[in-house]
Amino acid sequence: MSLPQVMQTQATQHPQVEWFSGYAEALPLPDNSVDGVISVLTIHHFHNLAKAFQEMQRVCRDGAIVLLTFDIRFAQKIWLYDYFPFLWEDALRFLQLNDLMNLITANTKRNVEAIPFLLPHDLTDLFAAAAWRRPELYLLPEVRAGISSFPLADPHLVERGVTSLVAELNSGEWMKKYGEICSLTEIDLGYRFLCAEL
C-alpha cells in the first residue's frame, strides 16, 4: 500500500469530503476550482516546491493559501532533541522561513504573512514536537510511525533514543532534567502558519 493510501485509510471519513491521490506538483484539479488551499506539515515531502506553489495558485480562485510549516531555527532546543538528535539535524535541512516565504510569493504573486503557532500542551494531532510535555508518547511505536522523521531515520538511532528515554523516565532523571517544561501550557517550537493572500 502506498503512503497516500495508508494516509487515506487513517483519515476520518466525511460525506462531504472526496479524496484525490496525486502529487503537489500536478494537482488533479481544474484551474480556479477551489476556494482555498490548506497544506499541513507537508511541504518537506514535496519534490519541487516552486512547481507545487504554482499548482496551488492555479487551482485556487481568490481565497487564501495557508500552510502550516516550521523552521527549527525559531525553536527552543527542548529535551526531545537530546534523545533523538536526528530530528533536529533533519529539520536544519529545510528552507529558512524567509526563503520559503519569498518562494511562495515568487510563484503565486501573493503577499505572505507568517503567524507563530504556539503549541498547546494537549494537542491530539501528534506531529513531530506536538507531545513536547508528554514524553511517554514517544515510546509508542504508533505515535512514532505517524511522524515521518522516525520511519526515515536509522532504526538503531531511534531505538537508542527510546531506550534512553525509557530509562530516564523510569528513574526520574527526565523529570530532574526537564521537569520545568511541565509548568508551561504552550511553547514556540518553530511552527508557523503561512497565509498567502492576493
- In tens, the pLDDT along 123-159 reads 999 999 999 999 999 999 999 998 989 999 999 999 9
What rounded mean pLDDT belongs to the chain?
A: 94
Please tell me the predicted confidence (pLDDT) of residue 31: 98
When pLDDT is cut at 50, 70 and 90, the band that residue 1 belongs to is low
195: three-class secondary structure by DSSP = strand
